[in-house]
Amino acid sequence: MKQIADELRQAGIEKVWTNEPLANHTTWRIGGPADLLIQPKDKDSLQAALQIIHRHEIPWSVIGRGSNLLVRDGGIRGAVLKVAEGLSHCEFRGEEVCVGAGYSMIRLAMETGKMGLTGMEFAGGIPGTVGGAVYMNAGAHGSDLSRILIDAEILFENGERKVLTNEEMSFSYRTSLLQKRKGIVIEARFLLRTGDRKEIAATLAANKERRRLTQPLQMPCAGSVFRNPPGDHAGRLIEAAGLKGYQIGGAQVSEKHSNFIVNCGGATATDVLTLINYVRSTIQSQFGIDMHPEVLVVGEG
């Protein structure tokens, strides 16, 4: 990997690490090492990095800010491309906004509100990046990305860069085309509406206060762990099953919000996965409902 790291640096990609603990790059503060971690500075260096990776025939994967992600304790073999600060541009064009994949969703919600544009308020509590949000069709408060996305520029595994329309992204609940066809979001365009700045600010403030009161934001976590089953809420079911506060190793079902699992200190990915499976089996046994995790689990055990 050192040879490949040197080649990447020679290509102008300065932020390259070998054997880098991914616990340093996830909001759960959990995860074994990546053989090679690469943070491209722009879309051209991202494409160059992918070409070098392909030339050496090593596997690769992508992360953003590491939210909604559980990296197993054995880490990730091959290369991990971190799409963050290098792709964090944001440009307003009337009621349209063009945003890089590394841009923070929370910041985007705040900035669009300041511009008097409505439609992004639901994203004010989504801790990840635009790229990750597009990948999983992130949503909250009754809305999601599919309602406002115009199109997204994708770098596919074969090196092709293509702009896909909303329809071509094949969005559904917490899913998109990118869970079927491997690719990297480079940027996205959203269509918003002109609104009242005070009303938008009030909605964002109310949502923020609700999160402060109901979510364990002061502890390492990854947001909601399970998808809401049809007609119900995952948190309600987990609490009804008596699992609030249940703990395995350093991983605990949050005492503040039952659909969050928090790292109480020293939690491993094995702790989290064991707890997830215990919650699933308990809900299945008590209510006959199969709970589906919405966190992405990657890497080796």
Residue 66 backbone phi and psi in degrees, to 5: 80, 15
**Which of the residues 20, 153, 187, 294 is marked catalytic?**
294
Kindly name the residue from 174, 176, 189, 254 that is annotated as catalytic.
174
230-262 as b/e: b if 16+ CB within 10 A: eeeebbebbbebebbebbbbbbbbbebbbbbbb
Beta strands in the chain (DSSP E): 16-21, 33-38, 60-63, 69-71, 76-82, 90-93, 96-100, 117-118, 139-140, 143-144, 149-156, 161-165, 183-191, 193-194, 247-248, 251-253, 261-263, 296-298
Which of 176, 224, 254, 258 is catalytic? The answer is 224
The reply to whether 281 belongs to the active site is no
Instruction: Mention every residue, 6+ apart, whose C-beta is less than 8 A from residue 93.
Output: none
In one-letter notation, the amino acid at residue 173 is Y
Is 294 designated active site? yes
Residues known to be catalytic: 174, 224, 294
